[in-house]
Amino acid sequence: SQTIHQWPATLVQPVGSPLSLECTVEGTSNPNLYWYRQAAGRGLQLLFYSVGIGQISSEVPQNLSASRPQDRQFILSSKKLLLSDSGFYLCAWSRLGRGTSYEQYFGPGTRLTVT
Amino acid sequence: GQNIDQPTEMTATEGAIVQINCTYQTSGFNGLFWYQQHAGEAPTFLSYNVLDGLEEKGRFSSFLSRSKGYSYLLLKELQMKDSASYLCAVGPRDYKLSFGAGTTVTVRA
């Protein structure tokens, strides 16, 4: 079966500090990978998605970046955090290919508080 | 672009039935998804509809009408553990899902 891991689970960082969140998927190959942010009481905002190693599409201009150094690893980074970067960060994966329903499966999330 | 609307909040009594509606306007469509999200947790996949009609999974059912841009999630025999946010999502367009803001369902004893 497939599992998706995220770490850390919670993080408190000062404004201006760097950020690195990691996501890994087990039990599948060539997944689509996604990073979302959910502000308190709000919906899911898609930040980045990737259909393969080194292939990253950005949805929202911001001070965040993403990388996919390995097939099942997805990293979200920032060089300098802003207060508005606080939120619940979720990584998700879906199957890639024709004839699939593309439902996305989410990791447990990282709750980031920028102080 | 994508526009997905669902009610913000609903309240129901334990054992009752609740129907959460979702309307959408999208430039492309290849399926409608429902997710459940408990407070402080990640969303979990509930159902997927790509053809018109009703899909039943135990106490939960999901309906789709593509011509009307309309779906609903039906929760039967409500239990306290069903108190959560329910997210409607449309996709995939370029492998992406577009999520509604979610409907918070509160189940009261």
Of B31, B45, B102, the CB nearest to A105: B45
Encode pLDDT of A10-47 as tens digits.
Answer: 999 999 999 999 999 999 989 999 999 998 777 899 99
* Alpha-carbon distances of A102 from A4, A76, A96, B42, B109, rounded to whole Å: 16, 22, 7, 18, 37
Coil, helix or strand for B18? Answer: strand
* Average pLDDT value over all residues in chain B: 94
CB contact (8 A) between residue B91 and residue A102: yes
| Residue of chain A nearest B91, judged by CA positions | A102
Is the distance from CB of B26 to CB of B11 less than 8 angstroms?
no
DSSP symbols for chain A: --EEEEE-SEEEE-TT--EEEEEEEES-SS-EEEEEEE-TT--EEEEEEEEETTEEEESS-SSEEEEEEETTEEEEEESS--GGG-EEEEEEEE--STT-----EE---EEEEE-
CB contact (8 A) between residue A109 and residue B96: no
Give the C-alpha separation, A51 to A32, whole Å.
5
Of B30, B96, B101, the CB nearest to A49: B96
B2 vs B72, higher pLDDT = B72
Encode pLDDT of A51-89 as tens digits.
Answer: 999 999 998 867 899 999 999 999 999 999 999 999 999
Q: Give every CB contact of residue A28 below 8 A, 6+ residues apart in sequence.
A: A2, A72, A93, A95
Residues of B in Cβ contact (< 8 Å) with A51 = 95
Residue identified by tokens 């025999």 is B77
Residues of B in Cβ contact (< 8 Å) with A100 = none
User: Residue A21 has what pLDDT?
Assistant: 97
Q: Is the pLDDT of residue A108 over 80?
A: yes
